[in-house]
Each structure stands twice: as C-alpha cells, then as structure tokens.
Amino acid sequence: MALLENDVAVVTGGSSGIGRNICETFASEGASIVVADIREEPRSGGTPTHELVAAEYGVDATFVECDVSEKADLESAAEAAEDLGGLDVWVNNAGIFRGEEFTEVTEDELDQMLDINVKGTYFGAQVAIEAMVENGGGSLINLSSVAGLEGSGDFVSYCTSKGGVRLMTYSLADKYGPEGVRVNAIHPGVIETEMVTDDVPIIGGEGEEAFRQQVPLRRFGVPQDIGSAALFLASDMSSYVNGESLVVDGGQTNT
C-alpha cells in the first residue's frame, strides 16, 4: 500500500517550487490533493499542479484560490479537503522571503511578512486542527527555515517570522498531541526555487559559490529534498514524531 493511500492533503503555496513538489510527492503515494495558492499556474509557467498530479498519478486533486493572510480562504481550502473525504495532512508552505536593511523596513513591509509567514501559518493551523480533531487526528507540517533557528542581519524580518513558526509548532504539538494531531516543522536551507533565484538571488548572484561552500554537502537543496521530508512527517513512518524541527540544509546549520 502507498504511504498516503486514501489520505487527503492540503498544501498552501502548492502551485510552485517546494509546494508543487510536496503535492507531487504526496500524490505519488496515493494522497488526494488540495492546492491552495494565490496563483493557479506555477511561477515558471506550465501545467497547474492539481491538473498535473491528477493526470500523472490518477488521484483526486483540486485548486482553491487562497491568500493565506485571509482566514476565509484557508477555511475554503479545508472545506475542499472535506469534499474529497476528510482532511488528514495539512502543509503550511506558503511564504515570502526578502533581504532588507533593518532600519529601512516600513510598517507595511513588516506587516506583509508577518501576515503571510506567521498569520497565514497560525490560521492555517487553526482551521486544519479543527478539522483534524473532528476527524480523529492528522499531521500538520509547518515550513519554517534555517532562518527560524539562526539569526541573520540581512533578513531580520524573515528570521523573526520563521522563528515564530518554530515555536508555534512546538506549542501546537503540546496542545493537540492528546487529540491525535502531530505537529512538526521542516527547516529548509537554500533550496533551488524562484525564491532564491529571483526574489533574493542567492543562486545566480555573485555570492553563490561562497554560499555553496558553507554547505558540507557542497550543493544547494532541490524541492524533492523537502518533498521527501514532508512525506516522512505526513506518513505513519513518523507516527511517534511530534513537536520536532527537521532541518534539511545539507549540514550547514550545525557545522
């Protein structure tokens, strides 16, 4: 039997990058998929994720237009999961990333960072846990970052937001473990997506090789590295894993 046979998963930010790969990985293991995103097509173009996984893996899949800073949109994603048979796995993946000069950050810029990365995760968790408790349990996975473990002067707002996600994860694991809901966080390092090629050009920028040399494996991550970690946390392979931070960064943080 596939690892997620008969499960239903919601992935926020599932149209592109890491979220798209998580959707593909889950679908390859039998899960029905709700792609919750502000855009239907991937940032780089191509077939929408829900259409791709339905065609490739024969699973039920749907798209819900979702701005994670709006709780009503998150509720719509949860309702779509119920229509597919009931929510089992929810991945809070949607997020934004940018560099900054700390003293020049505006209130609107900080609000945007916190609204998407923290508020979106908070209320995504809220609607997910409500459904999971009613259904008898589930797995909630929050995408934090190595920036949620270590500070960086170039990314103060981002580190603040991802540190919040880390402690939110631990708190929810404590509160809802007795209800059968496991809550864990993934902390990616530099992963080859538009976030680090376009939004903040770590890859392709003049400092690329210096960043690579900081990673003991001497390579950047790819979305499949995170998809595989998410599959572990979503499946029964991690049935006794709760309130944990899974760091996927090639060894950079702890060396």
Catalytic positions are 158
Strands 32-37 and 8-12, by their bridges, are parallel
User: Strands, DSSP E only, in the chain?
Assistant: 8-12, 32-37, 61-65, 89-92, 138-143, 181-188, 245-248
Element (H, E) at 73: helix 71-83
Measured torsion, CA atoms of residues 195, 227, 137, 244, in degrees rounded to the nearest 10: -80
Determine whether 77 is exposed, middle or buried from the number of CB atoms within 10 Å of its CB (0-12, 13-18, 19+): buried
Structural tokens at position 241: 């894993």
How many angstroms separate the Cα of 82 from the Cα of each of 32, 94, 130, 131? 11, 21, 12, 8
What residues form DSSP beta bridges with 191? 221
